[in-house]
Chain A
Amino acid sequence: MQRIGVFVCHCGSNIAATVDVKKVVELVRMEPGVVWAEDYPYMCSEAGQSRIAEAIRTQKLTGVVVCSCSPRMHEATFRKCAERSGLNPYMVEIANIREHCSWIHKNTEEATEKAVILARAAIAKVNLNTPLQAGESRVTKRALVIGGGIAGIQTALDIADAGYEVDIVEKTPSIGGRMSQLDKTFPTLDCSACILTPKMVEASANEKITLYTYSEVEKVSGFVGDFTVDIRKKARSVDMSKCTGCGVCQEKCPSRKTPNEFNRGLNTRSAIYTPFAQAIPNVPVIDREHCIKFQTGKCGVCAKVCQAGAIDYEQKDEIITRKYGAIVVATGFDMIKLDKYGEYAYEQSPDVITSLELERIMNAAGPTKGHLERMSDHRPPKNIVFIQCVGSRCADERGKSYCSKICCMYTAKHAMLIRDKYPDVNVTVFYIDVRTPGKNFDEFYRRAVEEYHVNYIKGQVGKVTPQPDGTLLVHGVDLLDNHQVKIEADMVVLAAAIEPNPDVRKIATMLTASIDTNNFLTEAHPKLRPVESPTAGIFLSGVCQGPKDIPETVSQAGAAAVKVIGLLAKDKLLTNPCTAKADVLACNGCSACANVCPYGAISYEDQEVRAPGVREIRRVAVVNSALCQGCGACTVACPSGAMDLQGFSNRQMIAEVDAICR
């Protein structure tokens, strides 16, 4: 029989305001196995923990139940406390009477009754707990960063700085990401490329960092400290070791009709291309889908003009398998598709563009060499209308419920830059709210309004109608004046909502990292563990976790790097001892368990089975506890009930059910 101590926390008034804590103590005292029960205002405090420690020693407790907040919050705290006092940490269970009780119920009587039942269930479970020993696993001292934008680059640089090897996997031919497409950055208006390219160069020159560009993560297995990852290095059709980056092949390539992704399709590129001039690595790739040689077999111009003989039409995709201790997701974002927003005429008129397209138009390396002009007739515009929140803060299912966070600031930036360079151009901004929290952000926005006289109109745009003369009639509403406005514009710029990179879902599934309804990766705790995924060993950097601007992305990248460094600095990790275990007496070696195991942790071996009247050699299941992650799928699949999960055994679960239904 166990000797159980029950410790009921008030959590200040968080629990005690709705749960009659004294009554809980009084009632749980009568439960089987309970020899000690007390309450305390803050069990997680130093004083609270020392009360638990003292009770463990003086009352010779063999089990502890703490009725407090969620085990996701403080289970580890109380288990460590028990361990320090000489009790096996796995003899501690938490009854969650805060998140699952006091915070959601108002009636004291009902809440107290529920708290007692939850405590009973935990006590019933602890009565059947057995001491468990955590195993150890090795840590591979190498990190993988998925995504080579500013988030990925910064994370990799910081990890490499601490002396660990890092690999960056980037899907496109060059690192740089979204930031490389930007012209200027708010609120300082410094040139994006000027601050990004040194970092890109640093990343490629750092001997601890390996870049896998034009590559994708294909398969991930393993667990924290010991992931095995397959990286598909797509065929570039150019030998990286031979290419000098002279660019002649791109000049001579006869296939020039492919929409240029880097310029958001505003112009075209050749079939052999580097996305932009400062690309790293500065080695082109052949887009086989649009290459005449690959499509018809007749061309080969690039191979003829290449002095270095670097063109290799025979190159094949290569799979690289590597081990990593930690993985950082930095997959970034894209703008939402605007096909559902017919009212803005984005698909009808080339003069209705997104902000990212405007960014390319204003960039000296962009499709118009930095001249502000309409894409339809290349005339300079006289009236520009910006429309905010296209798909952001959207109540219907066409858009996103969240605020994309960066649009208010970049629109102020665009408006200011246009008014600065072309003082004759009228700029109007339609907005729902202007949100500019951040260092020097509001000052920046006010400069746009006060110094540059940008016309801000609070209200939304109902329709943009292309006119026969090529202008665009913008029908909007001014909410402050409460009247309808019609503006004849030459150009309309849409601040489309940002959304996580569409590939993130596939990557999250591979990593078993959880994802929210908007496809942002979920953090382990929204406030206290913002750069970690709930899946151990997976870290988050940049917009894949939520909308953020460049400074925030860089700080989060550094934070993720610190977490990775903290993990890689360890030689060994303790493994979860709550793994499956087969009862050889009941097992008949049917293979049902191995068939459902996602980790291949179950194998079969011949063992001598001894029981009264039985002594034979039999094929039985054996669980490799280093591979088992403790999901419990096998325990249900087992037809003979031989498989059980330690820490969540059949008997423990049934005891909990019984206690709740009593």
Chain B
Amino acid sequence: MSIANESFRPKIVAFCCNWCSYAGADLAGSSRLSYPADVKIIRVPCSCRVNPMFILRAFERGADGVILCGCHPGDCHYTTGNYYTRRRMTLLFSMLDFLGVENGRTRVEWVSAAEGVKFSATMNEFVETIRALGPNVRLGDLRCRS
């Protein structure tokens, strides 16, 4: 029951690992593969650096979607980091879904340094999903609303 709201500009936080996905985002940039400006990227050394607290914090502060990008399984610069990410986020996302933050608002994606096209396509798709879901109201801290 998505209400087509053209003026809705979602806030989207993307955590990208320094070795693969951040470089993939750079490649998307230098290849001029556009995606909506709603996506803001935070660089982390490895996807496993992302504490579930950061994601909760983002939702609390009014983010409408959070995406976490890392190296493909088996390609982690730190050997095992993305495996931890995968397990942690599976737990976190199912808990968030239980709390009413729909599964579509959270996502883990593996993007290598050579996959500029995939990065851009993923972001376009993710923003589309969030736009369809509408603003996130479940976890937002009312005191943070401006």
Chain A residues near B (Cβ < 8 Å):
70-72, 96, 98-101, 103-107, 110-111, 113-114, 117-118, 121, 505, 508-509, 512, 514-517, 522, 534-535, 578, 596, 598, 629-633, 635-637, 645, 648, 650, 653-654, 656-658, 660-662
**A631–B26 CB distance below 8 A:** no
* Nearest CB on B from A103, distance (A): 4
**B37–A105 CB distance below 8 A:** yes
Q: Give every chain B residue within 8 A of A505 (Cβ-Cβ).
A: 74
Those of B78-119 within 8 Å (CB) of chain A: 78-81, 84, 88, 112-115
**B34–A106 CB distance below 8 A:** yes
* Nearest CB on A from B63, distance (A): 5
Q: Give every chain B residue within 8 A of A637 (Cβ-Cβ).
A: 84
Q: Give the total of B residues in contact with A, Cβ under 8 Å.
A: 54
Q: Give every chain B residue within 8 A of A648 (Cβ-Cβ).
A: 44-45, 49
Our pick among B37, B45, B57, B88 for the contact of A114 (Cβ within 8 Å) is: B37
Chain A to chain B: the 8 pairs with minimum beta-carbon distance, closest first: A99-B29, A632-B49, A661-B61, A631-B78, A516-B114, A631-B46, A110-B37, A99-B26
For the complex with contacts A505-B74, A662-B61, 13 further pairs of A-B residues with Cβ separation under 8 Å are A96-B43, A99-B25, A104-B32, A113-B37, A516-B112, A631-B49, A632-B44, A653-B54, A654-B54, A660-B42, A660-B63, A661-B11, A661-B63
**A657–B57 CB distance below 8 A:** yes
Our pick among B19, B25, B45, B63 for the contact of A632 (Cβ within 8 Å) is: B45
Our pick among B30, B40, B58, B77 for the contact of A514 (Cβ within 8 Å) is: B77
Alpha-carbon separation in the docked complex, A632 to B35 (Å) = 29
Alpha-carbon separation in the docked complex, A113 to B11 (Å) = 12
Interface string of B6-41 (1 = CB under 8 A from A): 000001010000111011011011101111010011
Chain A to chain B contacts (Cβ below 8 Å), 6 pairs: A104-B29, A512-B78, A522-B113, A633-B48, A650-B51, A661-B144
Q: Give every chain B residue within 8 A of A522 (Cβ-Cβ).
A: 112-114
Alpha-carbon separation in the docked complex, A632 to B88 (Å) = 14
* Nearest CB on A from B10, distance (A): 11
Alpha-carbon separation in the docked complex, A623 to B40 (Å) = 32
* Nearest CB on B from A287, distance (A): 31
Q: Give every chain A residue within 8 A of B32 (Cβ-Cβ).
A: 103-104
Q: Give every chain A residue within 8 A of B18 (Cβ-Cβ).
A: 72
Q: Give every chain A residue within 8 A of B112 (Cβ-Cβ).
A: 514-517, 522
Q: Which residue of A lies closest to B59 (CB)?
A: A661
User: Known: A636-B48, A658-B61, A661-B13. Is A517-B113 also a contact (CB below 8 A)?
Assistant: no
* Nearest CB on B from A533, distance (A): 10
* Nearest CB on B from A520, distance (A): 8
**B29–A578 CB distance below 8 A:** no
Chain B residues near A (Cβ < 8 Å):
11, 13, 18-20, 22-23, 25-26, 28-30, 32-35, 37, 40-46, 48-54, 57-58, 61-63, 71, 74-81, 84, 88, 112-115, 120, 144, 146
User: Known: A633-B46, A636-B88. Is A598-B11 also a contact (CB below 8 A)?
Assistant: no
Q: Give every chain A residue within 8 A of B71 (Cβ-Cβ).
A: 514
Q: Give every chain A residue within 8 A of B44 (Cβ-Cβ).
A: 632, 648, 653
Q: Give every chain B residue within 8 A of A657 (Cβ-Cβ).
A: 13, 42, 54, 57-58, 61, 63
* Nearest CB on A from B113, distance (A): 5
Q: Give every chain A residue within 8 A of B25 (Cβ-Cβ).
A: 99-100
Alpha-carbon separation in the docked complex, A469 to B28 (Å) = 55
Most buried by A among B52, B112, B114, B144: B114
* Nearest CB on B from A98, distance (A): 7
**A636–B78 CB distance below 8 A:** no
Q: Give every chain B residue within 8 A of A660 (Cβ-Cβ).
A: 11, 13, 40, 42, 58, 63
Q: Which residue of B lies closest to A104 (CB)?
A: B34
**B113–A632 CB distance below 8 A:** no
Alpha-carbon separation in the docked complex, A535 to B18 (Å) = 11
**B49–A635 CB distance below 8 A:** yes
Q: Which residue of A lies closest to B114 (CB)?
A: A516
Alpha-carbon separation in the docked complex, A464 to B62 (Å) = 63
Q: Give every chain B residue within 8 A of A110 (Cβ-Cβ).
A: 37
**B28–A104 CB distance below 8 A:** yes
**A633–B23 CB distance below 8 A:** no
Alpha-carbon separation in the docked complex, A28 to B20 (Å) = 30
Q: Give every chain B residue within 8 A of A106 (Cβ-Cβ).
A: 34
User: Known: A514-B71, A598-B81. Is A636-B51 also a contact (CB below 8 A)?
Assistant: yes
**A515–B75 CB distance below 8 A:** yes
**A509–B75 CB distance below 8 A:** yes
Alpha-carbon separation in the docked complex, A522 to B19 (Å) = 11
Q: Which residue of B lies closest to A512 (CB)?
A: B77
Our pick among A107, A534, A636 for the contact of B52 (Cβ within 8 Å) is: A636
Q: Give every chain A residue within 8 A of B29 (Cβ-Cβ).
A: 70, 98-100, 103-104
**B23–A121 CB distance below 8 A:** no
**A596–B61 CB distance below 8 A:** no
**B48–A72 CB distance below 8 A:** no
* Nearest CB on B from A446, distance (A): 35
Alpha-carbon separation in the docked complex, A105 to B40 (Å) = 12
Q: Give every chain B residue within 8 A of A99 (Cβ-Cβ).
A: 25-26, 28-30
Q: Give every chain A residue within 8 A of B49 (Cβ-Cβ).
A: 631-633, 635-636, 645, 648, 653
Alpha-carbon separation in the docked complex, A661 to B13 (Å) = 8
Alpha-carbon separation in the docked complex, A491 to B29 (Å) = 48
Q: Give every chain B residue within 8 A of A598 (Cβ-Cβ).
A: 78-81
* Nearest CB on B from A122, distance (A): 10
Alpha-carbon separation in the docked complex, A72 to B21 (Å) = 12
Alpha-carbon separation in the docked complex, A465 to B112 (Å) = 42
Q: Give every chain A residue within 8 A of B28 (Cβ-Cβ).
A: 99, 104
Alpha-carbon separation in the docked complex, A630 to B22 (Å) = 16
User: Known: A653-B54, A661-B61. Is A633-B37 also a contact (CB below 8 A)?
Assistant: no
Q: Give every chain A residue within 8 A of B19 (Cβ-Cβ).
A: 514, 534-535
**A631–B48 CB distance below 8 A:** yes
Most buried by A among B35, B37, B52, B61: B37
Alpha-carbon separation in the docked complex, A358 to B145 (Å) = 72
Q: Give every chain B residue within 8 A of A101 (Cβ-Cβ).
A: 37
* Nearest CB on A from B19, distance (A): 6
Alpha-carbon separation in the docked complex, A101 to B49 (Å) = 24
Our pick among A105, A107, A534, A656 for the contact of B113 (Cβ within 8 Å) is: A534
**B45–A630 CB distance below 8 A:** yes
Q: Which residue of B lies closest to A101 (CB)?
A: B37
* Nearest CB on B from A651, distance (A): 11
Alpha-carbon separation in the docked complex, A535 to B77 (Å) = 7
**B26–A509 CB distance below 8 A:** no
**B57–A631 CB distance below 8 A:** no
